[in-house]
Amino acid sequence: MKKYLIIAVILVTSIAYAQPVKEHGSLSVKGTQLVDQKGKAVVLHGMSFGWHNLWPRFYNKGAVHELVSKWKCTVIRASMGIELNNRGYLKDPVVSVKLIQNVVDAAIKEGVYVIIDWHDHNIHTEESKAFFSMMSKKYAGYPNIIYEIFNEPDYETWPEVKKYSEEVIAAIRANDKYNIILVGSPKWDQAIDLPAADPIRGYDNLMYTMHFYAGTHKQWLRERTDKAMAAGLPVFVSECAGMEATGDGPIDHEEWRRFKEWMDAKQLSWVAWSVSDKKETCSVLNPVAASEGNWKETDIKEWGKIAMKALLEYSNK
């Protein structure tokens, strides 16, 4: 009897803490599809931390463990704010890097993929090159790593974003030849048609980010993204949520359902925004939530419960 009990405990533990990186290994891009080391299609689902310079308290191993063990994230996004206040990377690079590495190191330990997100709306080429050169030197040997080199270009043209991206990609590839790099597109990652018409050449394992907020972005963005993929562009939804693009307002449940069903049908990886506690719809936690996880049901807001439910559904398939 004791023998069977021990086996049951081992099985439950292995299910509870399944490690996608052990299963899939190094990721690459085949056509428009993210694939694993065996060439099998991989679809990642997870949560994004909010700006590190606004919610630094969540940038720790306990919060990562909570998102992996209880929310069943297979990918975590660490969003390093570049501007905005005196705690952004431009004003405080030492603390900024430390907080991002807290999350990256914890994700590696948990066996999940992790996105190092340059969370900026403006071009800072030299600063970005220096940062990603440093991070790619440190983490090139880990298949967990995904680099997101420009969160959401806003008013920059695609030629400007492309030139910036090519320089940053070169800095990463000098150290890390293989891990996935995510490239942004103009108009807050909605102008995905522009890189589809003029993609970056000469590098492997690039994907392009599309972001949506279901209360604002509708069928037109799905159709635009479909056309981009039909043209051969690999797409990764590195940020999404169910409310308006402001991050606030009511959740559009029906439009979120449409987007989710569409992403599932297209085998698109997605990351929900955000692990933060601001008084807004998109922040998944209430201010009383502990910094290091162990969140109670009452700590999690409506959007958090919707995102968590979606993530748990994938883990039960």
Active site residues: 152, 239
DSSP 238: E
H helical segments located in the chain: 2-16, 20-24, 61-69, 93-110, 125-139, 158-173, 186-189, 193-197, 219-230, 253-266, 302-315
Six token digits for residue 133: 């050169």
DSSP 190-201: T-THHHHHS---
Asked if 180 and 138 touch (Cβ cutoff 8 Å), the reply is no
**What whole-number distance in Å separates Cα of residue 315 and Cα of residue 72?**
6
- Separation CA 50–CA 136 (nearest Å): 22
CB 72 within 8 A of CB 47: no
For 245-267, b where at least 16 C-beta lie within 10 A, e where not — what string? bebebebbeebbeebbebbeebe
- Chain centroid to CA 151: how far? 10
